[in-house]
Every structure is written in structure tokens, then in C-alpha cells.
Structure 1
Amino acid sequence: MKLVTAIIKPFKLDDVREAISEIGIDGLTVTEVKGFGRQKGHTELYRGAEYQVDFLPKVKLEIAINDDQVERLVEAIVGAAKTGKIGDGKVFVYDLEQAVRIRTGEADADAL
């Protein structure tokens, strides 16, 4: 099992959700986060004063899947989230040791 974590631009969330639904993946967790990398933030004007915004809004997706689905999932996320501009995000893939469905007690692949 793997845990795929993706950090994407907020306005791409619906596109990514649709793309992963099309390949048969129906469960994910979404968290609103802030961060910066090469994008380095930007300046904004508020009530006549200019200030630096270092942390930009992003969306973090977490998806637990079987090993054989990883490549298709990563391709779907990258394809749907890509704008070609700086700050598109990143995808991380981790090994997942154990998963348990709380309601039924099912474990590992059965819990996904």
C-alpha cells in the first residue's frame, strides 16, 4: 500500500478530483494549507500599504491506494494540476504500513 500526498493550487482541486474519479479512485482527504517554495510569495496592497505575503494558499491531498494504482494516480494528478507555471505543486509517494477501517475492523487492502 502507498500514501500519495499532493500539494496543488486551490483552483485545480475540482480538476484533480474529476481526474482521479475517472481512473476509479473514489476516496481522498483534502486539507487547506499554506506554503512557499520557488514561488517565493508576492506583495499585496491593503489600505494603501504594501506588504509581503510569503505563504501562499495551497491544497494538500492525501490518498491511500494499492501499489498497482500508484503510477496511474500520479499521472492523473500531474495531468490535471499542471498549469505550466511556477507553483503548480508536488506529488509525494510514501510506503503505508497498515490501514484499518474503524467501522468494520477491516485491515490493509480491504480497508482501502
Structure 2
Amino acid sequence: MKRILLLCFLLPALVFSQIPSGYYDGTSSLTGYALKTKLHEIISSKNINWHYGDLTEFYNKTDLDKYYDHDASNTTILLDIYSEIPNGTDVYEYTVANLTGSANAEGQGWNREHMMPQST
């Protein structure tokens, strides 16, 4: 039974995780630094660059409180993992208008630095 379950999970992964045709075009004869550079170009051309300023838009889609105090229709209240009280009423509720990069006291806003650092 375990083998059948393992096969059921691995088979779709093998079928759907194939390299797109033409993905590595232009790399077959390269070695060393030239190969590294070409692979970097391939990877970079597939990336989308997100910026720190885009977080406001993303948080309003990804971090909404649709589980504890609000339901799936919530489009404004953010889930604050630091002050969330799963079995009771939250002390603070924030929207994207309350996003802050720094605060010097509790409850002054939803600190996006704790969720996504601006730098590494």
C-alpha cells in the first residue's frame, strides 16, 4: 500500500516537472564562466523583479485575515501574527493604511519590516 501511495505522489511530479523545450538552448557547447553567464541570463530573463514598495499591494492579497476574526469576504483587515488572538477579539486590527517601517511602541501599525526585510 505504501508503494502504491508513493507512486501516486511521485508519478505526477515526474510527469509535470519536465524542463520546457528550448529552456537550455545555447548552453550545450559552453563550459566554465561562459556556461555560468548563459545560465544566469536564462534564469534572469524568467524572473520578475518585485520591489519593496510593491508590498502594500501584495499584503492586501496575501495577508488578509480570512481565518480568525473575519471570513473569506474580508478585503481590508490584515492578519497580524504578533497580536492575533485566535480564540478571542484582537487588540489591534490593521489595514494597509497602517503599514509602517518602524514604530517605537506596541500598536502603532503593522510593521512590514517584520514580514519582509528591505535588505539582507
Task: Choose between structure 1 and 2 for higher RCO, CA contacts under 8 A separated by at least 6 residues.
Answer: 1
Structure-2-length-normalised TM-score? 0.19
**Structure number with bigger Rg:** 2
User: Which of the pair is proportionally richer in helix?
Assistant: 2
User: Which of the pair is proportionally richer in strand?
Assistant: 1
Structure-1-length-normalised TM-score? 0.20
